[in-house]
Amino acid sequence: MARIDGVLLPNTKRIEYALTSVFGVGLKSSRDILNKVKINFDKRVRDLTDGDIVAIQREIADSYRTEGDLRKVIMLDIKRLQEIGSYRGLRHKASLPVRGQRTKTNARTRKPGKRVAVAGKKKAPRK
């Protein structure tokens, strides 16, 4: 198994899709990385040589912010928005949708205190 940025890539997947399991690398970024290091998209992770893995690691480290560093930057950005009192910061603080979605009917997973009923399961009757 290949390990990139502390993430084990699944052996049976094609490398272009396996790289997307690294936080901060999407399909477009994955394809850009593989084009730059000249590796075929159809290659499976188990077929990569050690040189290929090192080249991919080096390219990701040089050009992209991933995993812990990216998570830290995102958290600091949210914290900054909350501290300056922006609308987006207030929405983050209140655990409400940030990007203009409606909250009257949807937003069940985002709204605090709202419990989503499981389909086919009845609540116990109150006594």
What CATH number matches the domain at 3-63, 1.10.3720.10, 1.10.8.50, 3.30.1330.10, 3.90.1150.10? 1.10.8.50
How confident is the model at residue 88, as a pLDDT?
95
CB 108 within 8 A of CB 114: yes
Architecture of domain 67-127: Irregular (4.10)
How confident is the model at residue 121, as a pLDDT?
66
How confident is the model at residue 117, as a pLDDT?
64
- What is the number of H-type helices and E-type strands within the chain? 5, 2
Predicted confidence (pLDDT) per residue in 65-124, tens digit: 999 899 999 999 999 999 999 999 999 999 899 998 888 888 887 888 766 666 666 666
- The four Cα atoms 68, 25, 48, 14 give a dihedral, to 10 degrees, of 130
How confident is the model at residue 31, as a pLDDT?
95
Predicted confidence (pLDDT) per residue in 16-65, tens digit: 999 999 999 999 999 999 999 999 999 999 999 999 999 999 999 999 99
CATH 1.10.8.50 residue ranges of the chain are 3-63
CATH 4.10.910.10 residue ranges of the chain are 67-127
pTM, entire model: 0.74
